[in-house]
Structure 1
Amino acid sequence: MARKYYTETIPDVVDNLNTAIDTGLSSEEAKKRLTKYGPNSLASKKKKSMFMRFVDQFKDFMIIVLIIAAILSGVVAHEWTDAAIIMIVVILNAVLGVIQEARSEAAIDALKQMATPSAHVRRDNAIVQIPSTELVPGDIVLLEAGDVVPADLRLIRAHSLKIEEAALTGESVPVDKSDETLQGDDIALADRINMAYSSTNVTYGRGEGIVVGTGMNTEVGKIATMLNNADETDTPLKGNLNHLGKILTIMILAICVIVFVVGMFTKQGTEPMNALLIDMFLVAVSLAVAAIPEGLPAIVTIILALGTQTMAKHKAIVRKLPAVETLGATDIICSDKTGTLTQNRMTVEKIFYRGSLHDDNDEIEEDNPALLSMVLANDTKIENGGDLLGDSTETALIQYAFDQNINVHDLLEEHKRVQEVPFDSERKLMSTVNKYGDKFFVAVKGAPDELLKRVTSVKINGEISPITAEQKQDILQTNQDMAKKALRVLGLAYKIVDQTYDDPSTDNVEQDLIFAGLVGMIDPERPEAKAAVAEAHSAGIRTVMITGDHQVTAQAIAERLGILEPGHDERVLTGAQLDQLSDDYFTKHVGDYNVYARVSPEHKVRIVKAWQANDKIVAMTGDGVNDAPSLKQADIGIGMGITGTEVSKGAADMVLADDNFATIVEAVKQGRKVFSNIQKA
């Protein structure tokens, strides 16, 4: 069982891996460990040769029947034209199968390409840059903004470190990292704040970590293992065609035997027995060849190909032909939240100031301290007249100002920043000192509870007065109420000073503040998603939300979309709770749950398998590396074309060009039409 390094103290990790923080490993020791543990790269199962892949395509029952029919047509009935047509259809079918199989293996190749090419490591008491494939457990790795994490690390230093882990965990915002030791054995992957995982991105700050996992022993390596071991599920169409082929073959053979026996009895004595045997055998074989529907595979392929063209017009790009029909048979859609059901864009929804809560479309004055604080204490870069670059939370605040018709450029020019105290993950605040006429405006934003510790005043009816304990409690209650609605809440405060600071720090800049307000943000649901969920429900398709986000966020969005009825939190299951359920129990009760929160890649595969064990056809959507195993396991995997990683697209059967849940529902409609056409054929 893998060690849970996030629960171990830094000295314990150092002792366990026999390393030194200040000097790192020696080059000699690193070579020994590289021999022992192998390179820090992902392995894949041995690939079949192109010839063996081609041969495998002929193991389908219907194909075997067609090959026998072709042989009999030529050798016995001397219908060489029919035999040639049948074999051409069979060979074309095999070529298509080989192409599809090669595409599916692209998922593992894309996963390998995600590895960073180099890493900054402390070795022999010096900082050196080495290929990431040469990293070994015990190496001390240095991280800074812009780096891709090269291996799984237990952090030993974290200075305002933020790591974007969406592809691995589904968490929609960068995670604040820390070097503190965590308590508990069942901490979700997304909550392990003292760990940095391979192939995630450092977005802010810097840090150091000890390598605790390389290659296939990393979290990404576990995903690669699941991809390699994922069950290849037959599509409903393939299963139905196989079943049809067996029934037809049995019926045809039975009729041929009856015709042969009846012919032998009725024509007995009309010609020599040897000649009669040969004649009746040829009649029976001719009947069998005529009855076998050799055109069926060709017809099915043509109908599916036409279906893919129709779906492409509706922004659903099909990568594997049978997926078209599978969509039509879908019973369950397991959908990721971020980007598919939601817009994947943090947006201001509520603002609390002057003692009352306001909607995002309520008018706000340009000189309102809450607005000034959210715009001035902000590191967003504004390019090309309106493109916003920066942290998703901060860009949401600037976009809100733009939406309020505030001239942000003029505001920033008028109140130029002269000093700042950058964000720090420990105090959870950020402050700037800006020009304000002949004085200076100190703008502060951050975690409401931390900010209130530094607030001493509040402005009521234009008068600044000391803030009371009761007023602070009301603010904290408002903060809680907003958080329960899945809003990400920031506190806003300010003060006006006569001069700048000699040495700006939290001890002087962030003291004696005046409370300005609270701002609540959310990644809102797509406008068309709610109608699409309802339409899917009316068509007998159940929508299940699976996300790496927190339970409160997942539940609130699910209620807004109609996936979950308000107040039914018993239908929400977290990854930690899922771990407590046995496979048998979960398989029997999987229908009790509509929403899964804080889940890992293993959980997603388990959810898909549980539905499949109940004979349900499952469609799974996803955009991250963490979604790839479940995309491959599902009857139809649906990748995201805009936000999706190459890994998830490679594992998917279909890709959405617009990342829109409503497109899935439209594609299901088209899939049902295709299924109907195949039935008619």
Structure 2
Amino acid sequence: MKSRHETWVRPPGLDPEEAAELLLRDLHSSRAGLTSVEAQQRHLQYGGNELRRRGGRRWPGELARQFTHPLALLLWLAAALLTAVGSFVVAVAVVLIIFLNAAFAFVQEVHAEHAVEALAAYIPQRAKALRDGVPREIDATELVPGDIVVIEAGDRIAADIRLLQGAIEVDMSALTGESVTTLRSAAILDVDVPVLTAHDLVFSGTSCTGGEAHGVVFATGMNTELGRIAALSERVKQEPSPLERQVRRVAWLIAIVSVSLALAFIPLAAFGIGLSLVDSVVFAAGLLAGMVPEGLLPVITLALAVAVRALAARGALVKRLSAVETLGSTDVICTDKTGTITENRMRPTRVWTASGLVDLDDAAALGRDIPADPVQVTVGRIAATCNNARLEPGEEPSGDPTEIAVLLAARELGAGLAATERESDRCWQFHFDPELKLMSTIDRHHGRLAVRTKGAPEALLPHCTTFLAAQGRQLPLTDSDRQRIAAQVDAFAADGLRVLALAERELPPDRRPPHRRSDAETDLCFAGLIAMLDPPRPAVAEAVRDCRTAGIRIIMITGDHPLTAAAIARRVGITGSDPSVISGQQLEELGDTELRALVSRTPDIVFARASPEAKLRIADALSEEGHVVAMTGDGVNDAPALRRADIGIAMGRSGTDVAREASTMVLTDDNFASIATAVRDGRRIYDNVRKFIIYIFAHATPEVMPFLFFALGGGRIPLPLTILQLLAFDVGSETLPALALSREPAEPGLMDRPPRPGSEGVIQGPMLLRAWLFLGAIVAALQMTGFFFVLTRAGWTPGDPTEPGQPLHHAYQQATTMTFLGMIAGQIGTAFAVRTTRASLRSVGVLSNRYLLAAIAGELLLAAVFVYTPPFQKLLGTAALPASDLLFLLPYPFIVWGADELRRYLIRRHSSRSPQGQ
């Protein structure tokens, strides 16, 4: 195999078939593909079909960034001030804190990045290759040069391929930047043209938007054109999410306030209180350290990453951390019907022809054969040949669920289903077009060629001029016949059945078969209808009910018949008994202003026979009305709507690679209930982010209060908390409980609230007031009470010396230790208090968060080490406390928790009495 840049040269004068055979010979392959053993050997030789990351190691830059964010810069400033005044021990401690926080943040960000990247394993790109002569779906990374692959509409092409059979339309924008699709055909051979313009070649990273073809892989991995481009470019840096931007703005606000307070403290302490300049600078540095919530950024990053993993376990793969925020404010879900609301397990139930109605369920139940009526035989033949699904004996059915159901109907009608026979008789195929809602094939039949077509009845009937009457006679299709067929379609649709019409036309033997769709799909003879049942998923009705209770509006957008769509929408509760059903034609006649008015003023609405382009218009209209929109999709043409929506949701099973690439979220089970679960989890996660923000911010007040007491005391009150104790508190007791709060269960009534406005910031004024002036103030009051309790019990009065060597020095060490432990005890109460925003803690379970219980246990163990081990006593200036002092601390958590419990009770009571709360 030659390298990618030595692309094989085609001798001039060859026809396409000869050129293909030469390439197969060079690749030591054949049209039957490779054997499994040979494919494994080539995989070892050429490596996996994947792009290798360029640009070297990124971790040094990522680690360096942890030392330069605004909160770290504050600590660098504090360390510099301490060094300048000779407090080297404290300066070293501050620098150690910087390094510890940087290392922690770096580890969490790397973990978060890996958590998101690992989700790719859930949705691997797939490819269909011939192995051992049989088409098999394999992971695209297993493709090797010489593989024969099948390319269908919606596939993302996974390697550089030379077409051997068929023609496809390809979106080359990934390589060329041009979004216009281009035709690629095995029948066109270009010589002496740039490789990207060769009509018989398709390339890795591009997408098939129409048609079907077979081809041979001639380059994989970094040897592809896409690999060459990847080798020349660096990966684009990911933009921070809105939440991360908000937190950084708050970080800068904290930085400005902290520096202002610290700079104001130096002249106040030096000139107003009479402290030395050295002591003033030391205490200013302590203020800086106390105001910095060092763990905020890494905790948020890791919490979102954990949330993404949790959603993945529930069937919703979120590809970006920022999407978790958007889920919390989604107020409109635009959903498909087939496969999302329903099971996408079609089974044929009835066949209608001019000869009468055949109940397939009844025939199967009675175990009798269906009579060999000529019209029904023709319907079975069309159903079996105008089809790409496979229903081989002893094998699992493969293909589109609707086509599998059509094959099942063909089997009941006595048609042969052998895929090899069907493919050998097929001369041409016009793939299913979602705009035309038709698929056609040109097949050989008894030495003659015939066009076979299937599609939506209202799309197929205008192409028909005759119909197949009893005994197989062709009669003109009159207006009354059309009305009779339409009435039968409506009857099926009203029962929630999906209906396909089938038709055919025999081609004259003396004419060249048509190669244009418009020439083929004309003057058809209507043969019959096949009705199929696709029942709603069991969990959908409850999920729809939860969404409606949560104030989330659901709009069904489907390609099905209006009556079928309305029946399913009513059955699962998306609409009431009389929804407004807008057909694709009606939608096309609406202007953009009229469409916006329709979606804003009509509560129960269903869009039927809607094209993928209609989804984009609907998404635009809803967004312009200020809604936060989640849009589902699975097809190639759904990609623009998925990108336009705030949350694009692709189907993991039935969805195309193109749709999954364009989406923000992928449903591994294609189930609407997973969307409702994701919205619920998105709200819970957003609530939890706010909870640990309050928890972290609440510590600023008790950390700063000791320094204010010292400053305002004019030197008569010793410093209630040393800087090293403050730093030990920040390092040893803050981060683990904050992480545990990100695992909080949902509060009662979470899905009873209206959606959060999209413009609402994660950090709001009431949150800061609760943190700084309520919870923080209570903890500060408790810790200062403990400090003065210990000190005055030892006989201290304001102004008494407490320096080393003085009689009260040991009592002073015990008092600062009491302050330190009082902060920790108050912090435990804060952790329990912030677990709910409005509800009582009993409603979620006092002990329900086992992660928080473990974090508090670890926090208490670490506090015991700081207080009772000699090395840390010497370093931090702590002293062992008697049991009576520890008992004095015991009520602290309950006081903090109880005060906030009372506050929340009063808020609930006020809300229930106000008109808004009724």
Scaled to the shorter chain, the TM-score interval is 0.5 to 0.7
- The verdict on how the C-alpha distance between 1:395 and 1:430 changes in structure 2, with shifts beyond 3 A counting, is farther
Name the CA distance, whole Å, in 2 between partners of 1:139 and 1:492: 30
Q: Is the 8 A contact 2:581 2:606 kept in 1?
A: no
Name the CA distance, whole Å, in 1 between partners of 2:117 and 2:660: 13
2:244 to 238, 241, 255: 238
Name the CA distance, whole Å, in 2 between partners of 1:455 and 1:571: 29
Q: Is the 8 A contact 1:114 1:199 kept in 2?
A: no
1:453 to 457, 462, 466: 466
2:103 to 88, 113, 135: 88
Number of the residue aligned with 1:340: 340
1:298-377 pair list within 5 angstroms: 298-344=298-344, 346-348=346-348, 350-352=350-352, 361-363=361-363, 366-368=369-371, 369=373, 372-377=377-382
Name the CA distance, whole Å, in 2 between partners of 1:679 and 1:138: 46
SS of residue paired to 1:543 = strand
1:129-278 pair list within 5 angstroms: 142=185, 199-203=208-212, 235=241, 237-242=243-248, 244-253=250-259, 255-256=261-262, 259-260=265-266, 262-268=268-274, 271=275, 275-276=276-277, 278=278
Instruction: Give, in angstroms, the shift of residue 88 of structure 1.
Output: 1.8
Q: Is the 8 A contact 2:351 2:358 kept in 1?
A: yes
Opposite residue 73 of structure 2, the aligned amino acid is: I
- The verdict on how the C-alpha distance between 1:342 and 1:118 changes in structure 2, with shifts beyond 3 A counting, is farther
Q: Is the 8 A contact 1:66 1:86 kept in 2?
A: no
- The verdict on how the C-alpha distance between 1:569 and 1:547 changes in structure 2, with shifts beyond 3 A counting, is closer
SS of residue paired to 2:348 = strand
Q: Is the 8 A contact 2:116 2:305 kept in 1?
A: no
Larger Rg: 2
SS of residue paired to 2:666 = strand
- The verdict on how the C-alpha distance between 1:95 and 1:641 changes in structure 2, with shifts beyond 3 A counting, is same
- The verdict on how the C-alpha distance between 1:393 and 1:99 changes in structure 2, with shifts beyond 3 A counting, is closer
Opposite residue 263 of structure 1, the aligned amino acid is: A
Instruction: Give, in angstroms, the shift of residue 71 of structure 1.
Output: 1.4
Instruction: Give, in angstroms, the shift of residue 84 of structure 1.
Output: 0.8
Instruction: Give, in angstroms, the shift of residue 519 of structure 1.
Output: 2.5
Name the CA distance, whole Å, in 1 between partners of 2:554 and 2:64: 37
Number of the residue aligned with 1:568: 580
Whether 1:488 and 2:499 are equivalent positions in the alignment is yes
Opposite residue 691 of structure 2, the aligned amino acid is: K
SS of residue paired to 2:333 = strand
Name the CA distance, whole Å, in 1 between partners of 2:630 and 2:673: 14
TM-score normalised by structure 1 residue count? 0.56
Q: Is the 8 A contact 2:363 2:370 kept in 1?
A: no
- The verdict on how the C-alpha distance between 1:469 and 1:542 changes in structure 2, with shifts beyond 3 A counting, is closer
Q: Is the 8 A contact 1:637 1:651 kept in 2?
A: yes
SS of residue paired to 1:475 = helix
Task: Figure out how many residues of one structure are paired with residues of the other and give that number.
Answer: 521
- The verdict on how the C-alpha distance between 1:491 and 1:94 changes in structure 2, with shifts beyond 3 A counting, is closer
SS of residue paired to 1:663 = helix
Whether 1:518 and 2:529 are equivalent positions in the alignment is yes
Q: Is the 8 A contact 1:455 1:514 kept in 2?
A: yes
Q: Is the 8 A contact 1:456 1:514 kept in 2?
A: no
Number of the residue aligned with 2:161: 117
- The verdict on how the C-alpha distance between 1:581 and 1:259 changes in structure 2, with shifts beyond 3 A counting, is same
- Mean Cα deviation higher: 618-627 or 657-666: 618-627
Opposite residue 269 of structure 2, the aligned amino acid is: G
Number of the residue aligned with 1:66: 71
Number of the residue aligned with 1:397: 406
Q: Is the 8 A contact 2:391 2:404 kept in 1?
A: no
Instruction: Give, in angstroms, the shift of residue 644 of structure 1.
Output: 3.4
Q: Is the 8 A contact 1:488 1:522 kept in 2?
A: no
Number of the residue aligned with 1:499: none
Instruction: Give, in angstroms, the shift of residue 343 of structure 1.
Output: 4.2
- The verdict on how the C-alpha distance between 1:676 and 1:390 changes in structure 2, with shifts beyond 3 A counting, is closer
Name the CA distance, whole Å, in 2 between partners of 1:614 and 1:249: 38
Name stretches of at least 5 consecutive residues in structure 2 with no aligned partner: 1-14, 17-52, 83-89, 126-139, 141-154, 167-173, 188-194, 200-205, 215-235, 431-437, 447-451, 455-459, 514-523, 693-918
Opposite residue 81 of structure 1, the aligned amino acid is: L
1:392-541 pair list within 5 angstroms: 395-400=404-409, 453-457=466-470, 472=481, 475-479=484-488, 481=490, 487-490=498-501, 518-521=529-532, 525-541=536-552
Name the CA distance, whole Å, in 2 between partners of 1:608 and 1:233: 24
Opposite residue 209 of structure 2, the aligned amino acid is: T
Name the CA distance, whole Å, in 2 between partners of 1:589 and 1:279: 70
**Which protein has greater RCO, CA pairs closer than 8 Å, 6+ apart?**
1
Instruction: Give, in angstroms, the shift of residue 68 of structure 1.
Output: 0.9
Deviation per CA, 1:185-240: give whole Å up to 9, x if none: xxxxxxxxxxxx972353499xxxxxxxxxxxxxxxxxxxxxxxx99886453354
Opposite residue 84 of structure 1, the aligned amino acid is: F
Instruction: Give, in angstroms, the shift of residue 82 of structure 1.
Output: 0.9
Deviation per CA, 1:321-372: give whole Å up to 9, x if none: 4444543343333445554334445543554468987876455752343765
Q: Is the 8 A contact 2:466 2:476 kept in 1?
A: no
Q: Is the 8 A contact 2:425 2:445 kept in 1?
A: yes
- The verdict on how the C-alpha distance between 1:677 and 1:352 changes in structure 2, with shifts beyond 3 A counting, is same
- The verdict on how the C-alpha distance between 1:587 and 1:292 changes in structure 2, with shifts beyond 3 A counting, is farther
Q: Is the 8 A contact 1:551 1:574 kept in 2?
A: no
Q: Is the 8 A contact 2:461 2:526 kept in 1?
A: no
Instruction: Give, in angstroms, the shift of residue 267 of structure 1.
Output: 0.9
- The verdict on how the C-alpha distance between 1:234 and 1:362 changes in structure 2, with shifts beyond 3 A counting, is farther
Deviation per CA, 1:245-276: give whole Å up to 9, x if none: 355445544544554454345314xx5xxx43
2:392 to 380, 383, 400: 383
Opposite residue 395 of structure 1, the aligned amino acid is: I
SS of residue paired to 2:340 = helix
Instruction: Give, in angstroms, the shift of residue 660 of structure 1.
Output: 1.6
- The verdict on how the C-alpha distance between 1:453 and 1:102 changes in structure 2, with shifts beyond 3 A counting, is same
Whether 1:665 and 2:668 are equivalent positions in the alignment is no
Name stretches of at least 5 consecutive residues in structure 1 with no aligned partner: 1-22, 25-46, 123-131, 145-149, 155-196, 206-229, 435-443, 494-501, 507-512
SS of residue paired to 1:300 = helix
- The verdict on how the C-alpha distance between 1:482 and 1:143 changes in structure 2, with shifts beyond 3 A counting, is farther
- The verdict on how the C-alpha distance between 1:592 and 1:95 changes in structure 2, with shifts beyond 3 A counting, is farther
Deviation per CA, 1:634-662: give whole Å up to 9, x if none: 54443432233444444544432212221
SS of residue paired to 2:303 = helix
Opposite residue 312 of structure 1, the aligned amino acid is: A
- The verdict on how the C-alpha distance between 1:395 and 1:588 changes in structure 2, with shifts beyond 3 A counting, is closer
Name the CA distance, whole Å, in 2 between partners of 1:680 and 1:51: 35
Name the CA distance, whole Å, in 1 between partners of 2:673 and 2:327: 14
- The verdict on how the C-alpha distance between 1:254 and 1:672 changes in structure 2, with shifts beyond 3 A counting, is same
Name the CA distance, whole Å, in 2 between partners of 1:315 and 1:49: 34
Whether 1:581 and 2:592 are equivalent positions in the alignment is yes
Instruction: Give, in angstroms, the shift of residue 665 of structure 1.
Output: 1.2
Q: Is the 8 A contact 1:253 1:288 kept in 2?
A: yes
Instruction: Give, in angstroms, the shift of residue 453 of structure 1.
Output: 1.9
Name the CA distance, whole Å, in 1 between partners of 2:670 and 2:182: 39
SS of residue paired to 1:263 = helix
